[in-house]
Amino acid sequence: MPDIAFGTSQRIILHLDMDRFYASVEMRDRPKLRRKPVVIGADPNHGKGRGVVATCSYEARAFGIRSAMPISQAFVLCPHAVFLSPDFSRYVKASADVMAILKTHGFPLQQVSIDEAFLDVSRLGTFPAATDLAVRIKDTILTRLGLTCSIGLAPTKVVAKLASEVHKPDGLIVVEPENLFSFLAPMPVRKIPGIGKKSEADLFDIGIRTIRDLAAFDIQVLIARFGRSAIALQDLAAGIDRSEVKEREGVKSVSRETTFTNDTDDEHLIAVTIDALAEEVCRNLSDESLHCRTVTVKVRYQGFVTKTKARTFPHYTGDPVTLRTCAHSLIRDIFDGRKIRLLGIRLSSFDTCDALQMTLGV
């Protein structure tokens, strides 16, 4: 039976998150970029570019640039930044190198994204021992790979993840059981996984702003207003989180999407774009030695209406021709003649769980 976290937990969870990951790989490999505002993402095209920012250096963040921001806005904020298109194969390699270092310690490992993983280091027995390990991991990643990361150590996964965020870059925050609640209490409720913009606004309406407010609120009132899910949210607010580090939860999908420079209904351009996207996702699939069963095509029309259509094969395949042909047939099924803004392809249902979830959209 897993421990409950608050106060009595014996669990020690380590969460590692690489700092400004894609930008760090670029700056490591091209020293001239260091200390400069570097933006990885779509082509800004002198301010007319239509994709988004994948990530950026902290120097670029000082100008207000953020992940997922339109690249045109990033260009306005800092026109003299160095804008680079992503080179995913190098990020995937760096990610694999980081995960290999984490694996050497023999603790249960759950990779949750390209640059993020949990380790269950409870076996070490004490937080000071776990802290020593965290220092060693940070040191190894820096000396062997030339990259920095931030680590959180805590009795639960949710708190370990929050802890890794608070002191970026190159952070190490340890939240021992007795400090769990004082760590969580002042944070905005939005920090709790499962509370998005909408729930945050609903909670604000009844005067709940911080995690402390949520933990102390009458649960019956919360249930009446938000349903049974309020119980789990209040548990998380009290530091109770029984979720375990799941070793085999890895890759769920490999995807790639692109925004057209001008919205288009040109069938030739659409077909060529599908070819290029298919080639890229198939390359990622083969880099990771994966086979998949499901192909999903996504179309965003002018006005942002988005449609997806998927097909699942009875057998696993890594064959680029099969996957590309499938993508073409899916796009024929959903293309209704309207002008398209964005096209994407996702491959999923893998035959191995050894890799990572990657959304390679810019």
Residue 282 tokens, joined: 């198939």
CA distance 70 to 47: 10
Q: Which sequence positions are flagged as catalytic?
A: 116
Phi, psi dihedral angles at 91 (to 5 degrees):
-75, -35
Q: Is 245 in the site for ligand TTP (CB under 6 A)?
A: no
Size of the site for ligand TTP (CB under 6 A): 14
**For residues 55 and 259, which CB has a smaller minimum distance to ligand TTP in the complex?**
55
Q: Does 62 bind ligand TTP (CB under 6 A)?
A: no
Here the contacts of 26-33 (C-beta below 8 Å, separation 24 or greater) are: 26/84, 26/87, 27/57, 28/145, 28/146, 28/147, 29/90, 33/57, 33/82
Interaction of residue 67 with ligand TTP, rule CB under 6 A: yes
Rama region for 154: left / alpha / beta (φ>0; ψ in -120 to 50; rest):
beta
Q: Is 114 in the site for Ca ion (CB under 5 A)?
A: no
Strand partners, 109: 119
Closest CA to 362 of 258, 216, 280: 258
How far out from the chain centre does Cα 257 lie?
16
What does 67 bind: ligand TTP, Ca ion, none (CB cut-off 5 to 8 Å by kind)?
ligand TTP
Report what 260 binds from Ca ion, ligand TTP, none; CB cut-off 5-8 Å by kind. none
Reference 362, options 259, 237, 243; nearest CA is 259
Site for ligand TTP in 166-185 (CB under 6 A): 168-169
| CA-based nearest residue to 62, from 46, 80, 44 | 80
User: Which residue bears the tokens 């998927």?
Assistant: 310
* Torsion sign across C-alpha atoms 154, 160, 162, 167: positive
Q: Does 17 bind Ca ion (CB under 5 A)?
A: yes
Q: How far is the CB of 21 from Ca ion (least distance, A)?
A: 5
Residue 285 binds ligand TTP, judged by CB under 6 A: no
CB of 79: closest distance to ligand TTP in angstroms? 21
CB of 170 to ligand TTP, least distance (A): 10
Nearer to Ca ion by Cβ, of 115 and 280: the residue is: 115
Q: Which stretch binds ligand TTP (CB under 6 A): 11-19, 121-129, 248-256, 263-271?
A: 11-19
Select the residue interacting with ligand TTP from 27, 78, 84, 114 (CB under 6 A). Answer: 114
CB nearer Ca ion, residue 21 or residue 181: 21
Q: What are phi and psi of 18, to 5 degrees?
A: -70, 145
Which range touches Ca ion (CB under 5 A), out of 44-52, 110-118, 139-147, 184-192? Answer: 110-118
Query: Please, what is the minimum distance in Å from the beta carbon of residue 240 to ligand TTP?
Result: 26
The residue within the footprint of Ca ion, chosen from 59, 115, 120, 257 (CB under 5 A), is 115
Beta carbons of 15 and 120 less than 8 angstroms apart: no
Residue 19 touching ligand TTP (CB under 6 A): yes
Binding site for Ca ion (CB under 5 A): 17-18, 21, 115
Binding site for ligand TTP (CB under 6 A): 17-22, 54-55, 67-68, 114-115, 168-169
